[in-house]
């Protein structure tokens, strides 16, 4: 059986693909971190870890999340500042405060806030 070409090279059809976890959250959802005091809105999702090894290795070994789960790009805020965070699915929970997120980049990506989530601007939808 011939191999199937992909953008990254041929895939051996005899080798099973690793399971991919399904994303529990969607772009526009407001979430908060399970352990740290910040919340934010999801603006992108990686189906598995897609950051640098240096970033991953900087996380204390006993707190490192598995790489084979969705990771979320979040416009985040805490009591002091706003920033972009990269967080594993296991460390996120839904934010049920029904409060909008105060991040300067929100208006560039999202239209409005209702029902605990933001609606992505038309020009950013696929």
Decide: pTM greater than 0.85: no
Residue 21 lies in a domain: no
C-alpha distances (whole Å) from 31 to each of 45, 54, 108, 123 are: 13, 26, 19, 23
* Structural domain containing residue 59: 30-124
Predicted local distance difference test score (pLDDT) of residue 1 = 42
Predicted local distance difference test score (pLDDT) of residue 82 = 97
Residue 14 lies in a domain: no
Q: pLDDT for 15-69, tens place per residue?
A: 666 666 799 999 999 999 999 999 999 999 999 999 999 999 999 999 899 999 9
Domain containing residue 120: CATH number: 2.30.30
Residue 8 above 70 pLDDT?
no
Top-confidence residue, 77 or 13: 77
Residue 6 above 80 pLDDT?
no
Predicted local distance difference test score (pLDDT) of residue 3 = 41
Predicted local distance difference test score (pLDDT) of residue 13 = 66
E-strand ranges in 65-116 read: 71-77, 82-88, 92-94, 110-114
85 neighbors 78 (Cβ within 8 angstroms): no
| Joined tokens for residue 100 | 């909008």
Q: pLDDT for 87-98, tens place per residue?
A: 999 999 999 999
Give backbone dihedrals phi and psi of 63, rounded to 5 degrees, phi first: -115, 0
How many folded domains does the chain comprise?
Answer: 1
């Amino acid at each position: 059986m011939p191999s199937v070409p992909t953008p990254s090279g041929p895939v051996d059809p005899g080798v099973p693909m690793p399971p991919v976890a399904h994303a529990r959250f969607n772009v526009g959802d407001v979430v908060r971190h399970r352990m740290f005091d910040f919340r934010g809105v999801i603006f992108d999702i990686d189906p598995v870890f897609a950051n640098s090894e240096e970033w991953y290795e900087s996380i204390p070994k006993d707190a490192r999340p598995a790489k084979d789960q969705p990771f979320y790009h979040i416009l985040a805020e805490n009591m002091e500042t706003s920033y972009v965070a990269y967080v594993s699915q296991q460390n996120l929970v839904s934010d049920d405060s029904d409060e909008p997120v105060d991040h300067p980049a929100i208006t560039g990506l999202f239209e409005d806030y209702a029902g605990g989530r933001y609606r992505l601007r038309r020009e950013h939808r696929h």
